[in-house]
Amino acid sequence: MLRKLWCAAALAAAMQGAQAQSAFNPDLSLILQGTAAYSSQNPDDYRISGFAPSGGEVAPPRRGFSLGESELVVSSNIDPYFRGQLVAALTPDNTVEVEEAFFQTLQLGRGVTLKGGRFLSAIGYQNPIHQHAWDFQDAPLAYKAFLGGRWNDDGVQLKWIAPTDLLVELGGEAGRGRGFPASDPNKNGAGAWTLFGHVGGDLSTSTAWRAGLSYLNASPRDRSFEDGGITQSFSGKSRLWIADFVVKWAPDGNATTTNFKLQGEFFRRAETGDLTFNGMTGDYSSRQSGWYLQAVYQFMPRWRVGYRYDRLDHGTVSSGLTDAQAPLLLTDYNPTRNSAMVDWSLSEFSRIRLQLASDKSRAGVTDNQALLQVIFNLGAHGAHTF
Amino acid sequence: MRILFSLLLYGVAVPAFAALNIFACEPEWGALARELGGDKASVYVASTALQDPHRIEARPSLIARARSADLAICTGAELEIGWMPLVQTQSGNGKIQVGQPGWFEAASVVPLLEKPERVDRSMGDVHPAGNPHIHLDPRNIERVAAALGERMASLDQPNAGSYSERTKSFLERWRAARARWEKEAAPLKGMPLVVYHKNMTYLIVWLGMREVGNLEPKPGLPPTTAHLADLLARLAKDPAKAIVRSAYNDPRPGEWLAARAKIPSLTLPFTVGGTDKAQDLFGLYDDSIARLLAAAR
């Protein structure tokens, strides 16, 4: 009897589903991705010269065919007061990674929102955007070098929107500090925290903009990596500033036929503390920076072209250890990269992209890359941030 | 100095004081809110007639305006699914969240046409709840006006009398206008039309016209030459009187087909602000019918 009732309820729910998508169930969507890549250099040897390895997935995609991350997105209002979202990435090497799992308040009012869990931080412009929505297959070099690709910590975020016609958004986050540039300290309290502010508005019906300033503070302890059998580790303070902007243009604000997007971000990091290299310890301080500028133009329905220029500035790195004792980070080299892409979207739910890049991340070596990327979106119609 | 001062003013300008702060997703609901609210409501319209309501972006200005709204009026039925949920959650405004009195979906008080029996993306970007472009049937405007008037009165009780009076007066004028439009549009009965997107359905059904083709191969997908050529062949057997597009649609596919099928390509305002004459809801219908009649002759 109970079983029958359950079946009837399930059937009713299924019928309901046909009327109003996901009437009571969470919105479900699945992103499928894949790449076919060519690199003139071995991606396994990828290093950004003169910058401490960030430990993230920063290498170019594997050569040949490979499956990209498949992302499963589940989101829903929990009750009138909270909303929840899970983004799980099924990686091609058969692991599951929780990219985001958070709740968000809906009813605090006065422009205040509290978020908690694991989420993509609101620092910078590209950081909170999921990989499948990026305009290039890979992250800008600055994101790779300073954040290991992105900052998604476990913690809380408090955000406030000012009651003005111009968007003024101020907020901060406190988290565990589970990834680079932090080192997942096993301690009570916050291992990393951020502050961010964004302003934005419309210049006209055709042009909208947003600009921001963000700060990330971390205190890594024994943040170490191995290179050629030698371990190097850093303990101290890491401070990162990001200035970002984006401008979007479309004739009369109608992006359907043609539109243009210009975005850029500037990163500056200062680290001070102690460096241990091959058993020797000395004081260490660095000031390094990086930036990128990219433009994407949709010149007709379905077709977009884009260009990105990346540059990292080695800046000043000084250490109590001599060059001979710790040669790795003292390489005075400024990595650069030029990338171009063209993509074709048959509908809002599918995209095929060709991307070419000349990557000079490694001192003295040019890595010429070409890749074909496919992105498919199954299920609920996603909403993308500006 | 003066420039600096006005820049500063722009930066800190707080939305104008009014009893009810309204965020309207589309121009038709903005116009209706102005009719019913009068000077008791301050209305911000998130999109224009030259923009595709499916494809608005959750721009910073929208989030800033939604932050202080007492009432958000949208079409619903998933028309704004690509942007409004984001505006709502990012705004930090509890009043306009789904299920709250400050969230009004016009489609919820209207019987929807073209509800698909089966939902599959191979059919294009179909809306499971039915066709959401409800505002081109004046009977739907009546239904929405009645419900919206009540909602505004309940949200701003000190001015409830004003809202119900204005709603009553609007409905009287609207019904009179509808009778006039139905009489004027009698020659349009049976008129075969090719539409760009399935966003004229309610107008076509109301006036007894006939939709014989779509420029879009599937809802939401841009027209292709192959599909237009196919349509041209079909029009040779089942001719249409005109090709209609809304002000925000790309004019080129319709012009291409019009030149070959030797029928006029017609731009309808689609919503308030789409043409010079469509400055309010009455003007929208006046101008749409006048343009269709001109093409029918």
Selected residue of A79, A114, A164, A350 to mutate for chain B interface (largest B Cβ count, 10 A): A164
* In-domain check, residue B268: yes
Confidence of residue B117 (pLDDT cuts 50, 70, 90): confident
Residues B146 and B252 in one domain: no
Contact A284, A274 (CB under 8 A): yes
Q: In this predicted model, what pLDDT tens digit does every residue of B127-162 receive, in sequence order?
A: 888 999 999 999 999 999 999 999 999 999 999 999
Tell whether B129 is covered by a domain: yes
- Percentage of chain A with pLDDT > 70? 91
Is A349 part of a structural domain of the chain?
A: yes
Own/partner long-range contacts of A107-111 (Cβ < 8 Å, ≥24 apart): A107/A80, A107/A81, A107/B94, A107/B97, A108/B92, A108/B94, A109/B92, A109/B93, A109/B94, A109/B95, A110/A160, A110/A163, A110/B92, A111/A160, A111/A161, A111/A162, A111/A163, A111/B67, A111/B91, A111/B92, A111/B93
Q: ipTM score of the complex?
A: 0.89
For a pLDDT cut of 90, what percent of chain B falls above it? 86
**Chain A hits for B123, Cβ within 8 Å:** none
Report if residue A135 sits inside a domain. Answer: yes
Mark yes or no for CB contact A167/B61 under 8 Å.
Answer: yes
Tokens of A304: 């977009």
The whole-number pLDDT of residue A92 equals: 85
Weakest-pLDDT range from A6-15, A48-57, B88-97, B149-158 = A6-15
pLDDT at A325: 64
Integer CA distances (angstroms), A232 to A202, A224, A274, A278, A323, in order? 48, 5, 11, 6, 14
User: Can you give the pTM of this predicted structure?
Assistant: 0.91
Decide if pLDDT at B165 tops 80.
yes
- Choose among B106, B268, B138: nearest CA to B199: B268
The pair of three-digit structure tokens given for residue A329, joined into one six-digit string: 């980070």
Say yes or no for a CB contact (<8 Å) between B15 and A163. yes
User: Which candidate from A108, A248, A257 shows the least CB-CB separation from B94?
Assistant: A108
Distance from CA of A361 to the nearest CA of B (A): 34
A2 in a structural domain:
no
Q: How far is B248 from chain A (nearest CA, A)?
A: 7
- The pLDDT, as a whole number, for residue A10 is 40
Which range of residues forms the domain containing residue A192? 26-379
**Pairing verdict, β B265-268 and B242-246:** parallel
Domain presence at residue B133? yes
Show which of B139, B154, B180 is a domain's final residue: B180
Q: What is the pLDDT of residue A155?
A: 97
Rounded Cα–Cα distance for residues A137 and A38 (Å): 13
Residue B145 sits in a domain of what CATH number? Answer: 3.40.50.1980
Pair B133, B213 in one domain:
no
Domain end call among B180, B215, B231: B180
Out of A280-289, B70-79, B84-93, pick the least confident. A280-289
Look at residue B17 in the predicted model and tell me its pLDDT.
55
Q: Which is nearest to B247 in space by CA: B272, B274, B227?
A: B274
Tell me the CATH number at A234: 2.40.160.10
Q: What would the mean pLDDT of B41-54 be, rounded to a whole number?
A: 96
Can you give the pLDDT at residue B220? Answer: 87
Which residues, including other chains, have CB under 8 Å from residue A364's CB and lie 6 or more apart?
A333
CA nearest to B99 within chain A: A80
Structure tokens at A309: 């220029």
In a domain, A21, yes or no: no
**Torsion-angle region of A39 (φ positive above 0: left; ψ -120 to 50: alpha; else: beta):** beta
Q: Which residues of B touch A257 (CB under 8 A)?
A: 250
Task: Please report which residue ranges of chain A form alpha helices under DSSP H.
Answer: 2-19, 141-147
Would you say residue A254 has pLDDT above 90? yes
Name residue A267's beta-bridge partners.
A242, A290
Whether B61 is in a domain gets the answer yes
List chain B residues with CB under 8 Å of A199: 60
- Name the residue facing B48 among A19, A253, A385 (closest C-beta): A253
A19 found inside a domain: no
A20 and B129 within 8 Å at the Cβ level: the answer is: yes
Q: Are B57 and A386 in contact (CB under 8 A)?
A: yes
- B105 shares a domain with B78: yes
Our CA-based measurement puts residue B196 at a distance from the nearest CA of chain A, in whole angstroms, of: 14
Same domain, B21 and B102: yes
Domains in chain A, number: 1
pLDDT (tens digit per residue) in A322-333: 666 666 566 789
- List of chain B residues whose C-beta atoms are within 8 Å of the C-beta of residue A163: 14-15, 67-68
CB contact under 8 A, A205 and B15: no
What pLDDT, in 10s, does the model give residues B246-267? Answer: 999 999 999 999 999 999 999 9
The pLDDT tens digits for A68-89 are: 889 999 999 999 999 999 999 9
Are B79 and B102 within one domain? Answer: yes
Check whether residue B50 and residue B113 sit in a common domain: yes
Percentage with pLDDT > 70 across chain B: 94
Amino acid code (one letter) for A251: P
pLDDT of residue A19: 37
pLDDT tens column, A336-360: 999 999 999 998 899 999 999 999 9
- What pLDDT is stored for residue A320 in this prediction? 78
For residue A212, is it within any domain? yes
In angstroms, what separates the C-alpha of B175 from chain A's closest C-alpha?
A: 31
Nearest to A386 among B59, B68, B89 (CB): B59
Q: Does residue B49 sit within a domain?
A: yes
A103 — alpha (psi -120 to 50), left (phi > 0) or beta?
A: beta
A chain contacts of residue B81, beta-carbon cutoff 8 Å: 381, 383
* Per-residue pLDDT at A15 exceeds 70: no
Task: Check CB contact under 8 Å for A113 and B250.
Answer: no
Are B173 and B34 in a shared domain?
yes
Give the per-residue pLDDT at B18.
Answer: 65
Give the end-to-end CA distance of chain A in Å, rounded to a whole number. 51
Q: What pLDDT band is residue A188 in, cutting at 50, 70 and 90?
A: confident
Say yes or no: B100 and B208 in one domain. Answer: no
Of B21, B155, B69, nearest in space to A111 by CA: B69
User: What is the average pLDDT score of chain A?
Assistant: 89
How many CB pairs below 8 Å do chains A and B form together? 158
What local confidence, expressed as pLDDT, does residue A8 receive? 40
Q: Is residue B81's pLDDT more than 70?
A: yes
Per-residue b or e along B155-165, where b marks 16 or more CB atoms closer than 10 Å to that residue's CB: bbeebbebbee
Phi, psi values for residue A366, rounded to 5°? -105, 125
* Residues 6 or more apart whose Cβ sits within 8 Å of residue A377: A29, A30, A31, A132, A348, A349, A350
Interatomic CA distance for residues B268 and B291, integer angstroms: 7
Tell me, what's the pLDDT at A381?
Answer: 80
* Inter-chain touch B61–A18, beta carbons under 8 Å: no
On whether residue A7 sits in a domain, the answer given is no
- How many CA atoms does the CB half-sphere of A220 hold within 13 Å? 25
Residues B163 and B23 in one domain: yes
Short-list A121, A112, A114, CA closest to A152: A121
- pLDDT tens-digit series, residues B202-234: 999 999 999 999 999 998 889 999 999 999 999
Which value, in Å, is the radius of gyration of the alpha carbons in chain A? 22
Q: Which residues contact A34 (CB under 8 A, 6 or more apart)?
A: A65, A66, A67, A68, A373, A374
DSSP assignment letter at B127: -
Q: Does the structure show a pLDDT above 80 at A250?
A: yes
Please provide the distance, in angstroms rounded to a whole number, between the alpha carbons at the two ends of chain B: 59
Can you give the pLDDT at residue A20? 42
Nearest CA in chain B to A80: B99
Residues B163, B54 share a domain: yes
Question: DSSP readout, B70-124?
Answer: SEEEE--TTTTTTTHHHHHHHHT-GGGSTTSTTEEEGGGGSPPS---SS--GGG-
- Retrieve residue A286's tokens: 């660095």
Question: What is the pLDDT confidence band of residue A224, given thresholds at 50, 70 and 90?
Answer: confident
* Chain B residue with minimum CA distance to A164: B14
- Taking the C-alpha atoms of residue B260 and residue B241, their distance in angstroms, rounded to an integer, is 13
Contacts of A347 in chain B (CB under 8 A): 121, 124-125, 220-221
pLDDT of residue A23: 57
Question: In the prediction, which pLDDT does B6 show?
Answer: 46
Q: What pLDDT sits at residue A225? A: 82
Domain extent for B42: 17-180
- Tell whether B167 is covered by a domain: yes
In this complex, do A381 and B82 lie within 8 Å of one another by their Cβ atoms?
Answer: yes
Which candidate, A269, A221, A242, A235, places its Cα nearest to that of A51? A269
Q: Clarify whether residues B162 and B29 are in a common domain.
A: yes
E strands present in A250-335: 259-277, 280-300, 303-319
Q: Give the number of domains in chain B.
A: 2
From B180, B196, B224, give the residue that closes a domain. B180
Residue A13 above 80 pLDDT?
no
Please indicate, yes or no, if residue B161 is contained in any of the structural domains. yes
Are B152 and B205 within one domain? no
Q: What is the mean pLDDT of residues B263-280?
A: 96
Flag whether B7 is in a domain.
no
Does position A3 have pLDDT exceeding 50, yes or no? no
Q: Tell me the shortest Cα–Cα distance from A334 to chain B, in angstroms.
A: 35
CB contact under 8 A, A384 and B91: no
Chain B partners of A104 at a C-beta cutoff of 8 Å?
A: 89
